[in-house]
Every structure is written in structure tokens, then in C-alpha cells.
Amino acid sequence: MKFHRVYVELSNICGLKCSFCPQSTLKPQSMSLDFFESLLAQLLAYTKEIAYHMGGDPLSLSNLEAYLGATKRYGLQGLLTTSGYYLGKHSHETLLHPALKQVNISLNSYNKNAMPLSFEAYMQPILELCRAKNETRKDLFINLRVWNFDEKQSEKAFNAMLFAYLSQAFGVTLDAQTIERERPRSLRLAEKVLVHFDRYFEWPSLASTNESEGTCLGLKSHFGILSSGIVVPCCLDKEGVIPLGNLHVDSLETILNAQRAQTILQGFRQGRCVETLCRKCTYKHRFQKDEQ
């Protein structure tokens, strides 16, 4: 049983209240470094890549470098996903750590918060990181995410401002109208620095009125581990609605081979959702053949 990636939530603390992301009902907590290292030892048998994110921002940890160092010692590669809000709290040495394969920065978080920063003050550390990356980590990818497309073009004004700023900063042409019309997957700003586009998605919730069958990449290409140690089948289950087991109690091997996980997996292989949250999730429609 191998996975392309495992999502390991170092902390469920985000620090922001984005309007597109439901606020967590869970107790704020971070995963201890000792427990994280015990996970790495188990993950070696399942994956070569971990993403330090589900609901929280890994940059909220002041000792993030220690987690990256542990990842490097175990020979795994890491992916950082952040709002960019905490970039200034870490050195470039940490943010460009050799354990990292990729850094994702969600730019559309800026205008969905009452963030006490000007747009320029928010963007400046991001640009500085991109420049430092091209000097010291040419192999590292930085994805600047703009995942705010919708049919109403509700972020048209923000995107126009953002694309004009990036065009000037990187010496490229990002035309807002062309991007909105053509919906490219990504555009190159510099060597291995991309602006990555996608549309808004609805976080799965038991309160949703949507209900349908379908398949998912959960337990096929990936699964998640919350900061509490709870294992979940999908990277979008940040609230732990479908707990497969607790790694403070059982081994990862036991949890992944238990009946609940295997029943979910077999259901997905047959195009069925055996869990209520999965039936109510609309993100799975992206995996249908007609949307590939």
C-alpha cells in the first residue's frame, strides 16, 4: 500500500478567518516534535512525500525548522502550504530548507480577511522569498495560488490588482481578462515560480444539502493525519468527521488495514460513497471522467 502523499497537520492553528474556509470547531493544538518523528518512522513504508497542512498553517510553529530537519533525516520530502501571513516570522533558511520540495502560498487569503497589513506589506516578503529561492534553491518550486475563480467573477477587482503587481514584480504580462477567459492551470513568473489558478470549492460538511455518489482520491493517492493524531481518509476532512483511528493508540498499519478504511476504499473503487461526509462532498465531482 503506497501513497503519492500524506497530509500531516503540524498545527490546526491558522491565525486567519478566511470567508471561504469554515472556522474549525476543534481545540487549537500543535503536533509535538517527538510524536511527529514517530510518524515519520511509520510513514517511510507508505510514501516519500508529506504535506504539512490540512486546516492550520505550519508557519504558525515557531520551531518549524526542527520539523523540517526531522523530515530531512528520514529522507522524506515536504510541501509547505501557507497563507503567507507568517512568512516574516521565519528565516529564508527555514522556508527554503533542503527538506522542502515545494512551497504553496495562497494569495487569495489576503482579501478575504481583515488582515492588518497593506497589500504591498503582505506581498513584499513573498517576493523576497521568490528572489532568495532563485539564488539558493533553484530546484524548489514556489506556487502562488489564486484559487478564487467563480462564475460571478466576484474577485475581478482583486485579481486585476494582483496580476498587475505580479506583472511588474516579475517582468511578465498577466492580463486579468485573458486569464479569466482562458482559465489556465498555471503561468510561469520565473524559474520554478508559478502562479497557479483554480476555482473556489466548497468544504465538505455534514450540514450540506448536497448528496451524491462518486469516487475520490482519498485512501488511493493520499490520506491525512490531524495534529491530534487522528487519521482521516481525505485531505479535506480537517475536522476529523471520519476518524479512522488514533495514532496515539494504534499503529498506522493497523488503522489503514482496519475495516472502516478498507470499506471506504472499496466503495470509492466502485464509485460509491459509504460515508455521509463523502456523499455530501462536491469536490469529488472533479474526479469524474467528464471533468478530467
Confidence of residue 55 (pLDDT cuts 50, 70, 90): confident
Mean local confidence (pLDDT), 130-152: 91
CA nearest 221: which of 265, 157, 168? 265
What backbone torsions phi and psi does residue 11 show, to the nearest 5 degrees?
A: -155, 145
Least confident of 3-7, 22-26, 31-35, 40-44: 22-26
Give percent of the chain with pLDDT exceeding 70.
Answer: 96
Which one of 11-25, 189-203, 235-249 scores highest in mean pLDDT? 235-249
What backbone torsions phi and psi does residue 289 show, to the nearest 5 degrees?
A: -60, -35
What string of DSSP letters covers 224-249?
A: EE-TTSEEESSTT-TT-SS--EETTT
Mean local confidence (pLDDT), 187-211: 91
pLDDT, position 17? 67
pLDDT, position 167? 96
Mean local confidence (pLDDT), 220-236: 97
Given a cut of 80, is residue 228 above it in pLDDT? Answer: yes
Other beta carbons within 10 Å of 231: 24
Indicate where the chain has its CATH 3.20.20 domain(s).
Answer: 5-199
pLDDT, position 290? 40
- Return the CATH number of 5-199, one of 3.30.1370, 1.10.3470, 3.20.20, 3.30.70: 3.20.20
Given a cut of 80, is residue 22 above it in pLDDT? Answer: no
26: left (phi over 0), alpha (psi -120 to 50) or beta: beta
pLDDT, position 180? 83
pLDDT, position 149? 80
pLDDT, position 292? 37
Q: What is the pLDDT of residues 112-134, one digit of tens each?
A: 777 778 999 999 999 999 999 99
